Structure 1
């Protein structure tokens, strides 16, 4: 498309034209009449009608080029290469936007500067998170899934295993920084928070490290690992801790709550728990300062 200027005795009129083939003959057709100089200046609030008209036509051509159909040709005589990847997963890109908004990439850079390792922690952590949301599975399966992403992983399976100890070591830093970053994109309601514990079992014959034998809800004779989690009023996680499976869950709340006070700067809290976590020392701790507690209690033990 191009600009045509038509001069008259007292003004210049502008129009957008383009070449076209009609009945196998090339001709010029008018796409749009823009008006004369006075009309353009008045309608669009400009002083130079010619400059505006040129810019308008340039934008039309730019948009037309962007919306131009793309032709893809296929040759049936060419055979596909065996085991050549042609299908890619792009759904993780929506998660990638949230990942960056929460500042995970900057968190990883800070950890890398502190420890000085060479593998790409940001790439590893992001892929582990995407895989955990899209297709929860083992680290091996997560690594295989990441190879189907549009952006190929720049790390090895061994790098994933190496990074786990670093992620565990920096867990408190990651959680507290992530909370502060989340405040920039969402309002966190932390006046009333919730705490509970759960267990994960491992199909092992012998206890080891965090994996210890303890009473399990499903009565499985297997080692377990305990996890305690604080959530805000909207049910969004605040902080968590992982403890040996044989730890009394009542003793896990106060240490994690102290981290909320110290690292998260949360001083006004009402902690909600079930009866199993409402030990006397937990209630006493949350009866001081600006803290409070809400807990369930058996009707038989209520005092009226």
Structure 2
């Protein structure tokens, strides 16, 4: 810092302290740090020193204080003066916390290696980093995301062509990137790969014509548009592990084996338990996970049981209380469900048996020995009340539809229409006009399954452990919800197949990075709280070298800072401090 003097037309000398700054365009300039006053004022403040000597003393003190981190800023504002055109005064910094994990996962190095092999000249790492951070902060089209990234404190030096060309390259190396982030993440955070969860979902496109990948199929959102499907593996820690994409018209069951084989091969996994829902529990998938050191846990529909098994499962006798220890009065005690307290919704009852699974036609032709399965049926008063409540609301909706001219309009098996029947005869059997009424037989048939739940497995461990494994399937459903709702991964504004696949790679990496941040925050806050806090982290430019945090400090922002190892919530942030943060992030400090 140094002293600046200005002499007025009347001969009065004014003193101020100034510092050198660098503008965004690279040009050098100065800014006022402190106005000291005129010659006469300084003489009154310090009679024993000359005004210039006093001003230099103040300059030295301010320089020393700034070196210690204390900054003094003087900014004059004029209510009659317009702000400068095209001068950015606000910046987003939420991306810094995403970049922190991006570099820790060494994705920049992976992209550098890929770029060298692909002989591209643009920064592929910057492309991927921008696509990941904007997917979390500003989910939108690639063009719009690039525009919004210009609000970053250090915006990417990319053009739209780099984004699209980068997608082409990333798609070719998708499996390599998945393998690399798994190995790199395992060094950063504990990953439980003893249990893997697999599920599928689909994403719609606002188009009418099909192609090789985008096909008409059963949409999760019940949309009449072509879709693509994603199969996702999640580990026992709740972190995404690997994914695959396939055509929207394909059956999802055959997608498990190829992806699981790749995970076993590329991730060096062997002893594992694969947990799926009933839709993916084909006989082929069960047999695949009944070899070597692989096991499975899958949900089993009681409605599809053979009659003897169904009668056993619904029999009210022979139940045991779960989560009891040897020595407890109820340990190994048998209960009758007609005699238990249904108001006690803290307890879960179970029964189990080993049974040969029903052989397929092909297995019968080849005389293949049936697969031995362990069926564990649970009954929960809480689950019974939940299912009954859901059905009561659906019955109310069905009653309202009875007043319509044509109540039956859909074949959806979960629609309230299933409780409505159409008749064309009176009670005496005479012909009459069509009329609609509730079908009590359907209601009673469904009610008999209230509270019951079944899993099939080849594990021989404790029942409580198997129940606990199956209960965590909700996390993979939540991961799909994050991608679709928070990250707005659909609809997709891309048409080329390889770019569509690269889009889902960025969604997968965004999900992994977000889940890792959530883990580091000890899962203390909701997903919405974390994302909203990241999106709200902004700075206001006070001078060229000084910024003010323009967000509310909360427990959520404190947790984000603590998990990331740096802070941006000081009363004043200097450009030097922010550059140091960015440097430490890149260098993984």
Cα distance per residue 1:178-229 (max 9 Å; x no partner) = 0000011111001001000000001101112311011223332110010000
> Matched residues in 2 for 1:116 and 1:25: separation?
71
Matched, 1:263 2:263: no
Alignment-derived partner of residue 87 in structure 1 = 90
Alignment-derived partner of residue 133 in structure 1 = 136
Matched, 1:276 2:276: no
Matched, 1:178 2:181: yes
> Matched residues in 2 for 1:230 and 1:141: separation?
30
Matches within 5 A, 1:85-124: 85-124=88-127
> Matched residues in 1 for 2:77 and 2:250: separation?
65
User: CA, structure 1 residues 114+297, in 2 after alignment: closer, same or farther (shift >3 Å)?
Assistant: same
User: CA, structure 1 residues 178+26, in 2 after alignment: closer, same or farther (shift >3 Å)?
Assistant: farther
Could you tell me the TM-score, scaled by structure 2's length?
0.41
Cα distance per residue 1:2-36 (max 9 Å; x no partner) = xxxxxxxxxxxxxxxxxxxxx84669xxxxxxxxx
> Matched residues in 2 for 1:227 and 1:201: separation?
11
Matched, 1:236 2:226: no
Aligned with 2:273: secondary structure?
strand
User: CA, structure 1 residues 158+272, in 2 after alignment: closer, same or farther (shift >3 Å)?
Assistant: same
Q: 1:253 aligns with which of 248, 252, 256?
A: 256
Alignment-derived partner of residue 70 in structure 1 = 72
**Aligned pair count?**
251
Aligned with 1:260: secondary structure?
helix
> Matched residues in 2 for 1:81 and 1:62: separation?
32
Alignment-derived partner of residue 158 in structure 2 = 155
Cα distance per residue 1:137-168 (max 9 Å; x no partner) = 11112111111111122211111111112111
Matched, 1:291 2:294: yes
Which structure is higher in RCO with an 8 Å CA cutoff and minimum separation 6? 2
Alignment-derived partner of residue 10 in structure 1 = none
User: Bigger shift: 263-272 or 135-144?
Assistant: 135-144
> Matched residues in 2 for 1:124 and 1:206: separation?
30
Aligned with 2:201: secondary structure?
strand
> Matched residues in 2 for 1:299 and 1:62: separation?
77
Alignment-derived partner of residue 35 in structure 1 = none
Alignment-derived partner of residue 142 in structure 1 = 145
> Matched residues in 1 for 2:247 and 2:191: separation?
30
> Matched residues in 2 for 1:264 and 1:85: separation?
46
User: CA, structure 1 residues 199+74, in 2 after alignment: closer, same or farther (shift >3 Å)?
Assistant: same
Contact kept in structure 1, 2:276 and 2:298, CA below 8 Å? yes
User: Bigger shift: 152-161 or 62-71?
Assistant: 62-71
Shift of the alpha carbon at 1:101?
0.5
Q: 1:198 aligns with which of 188, 198, 201?
A: 201
Contact kept in structure 1, 2:229 and 2:245, CA below 8 Å? yes
Matched, 1:227 2:233: no
Q: Runs of 4+ in structure 1 displaced over 6 angstroms?
A: 61-64
> Matched residues in 1 for 2:189 and 2:142: separation?
30
> Matched residues in 1 for 2:186 and 2:256: separation?
24
Shift of the alpha carbon at 1:113?
1.2
Shift of the alpha carbon at 1:64?
6.6
Shift of the alpha carbon at 1:88?
1.4
Could you tell me the TM-score, scaled by structure 1's length?
0.77
User: CA, structure 1 residues 26+127, in 2 after alignment: closer, same or farther (shift >3 Å)?
Assistant: farther
Contact kept in structure 1, 2:190 and 2:237, CA below 8 Å? no
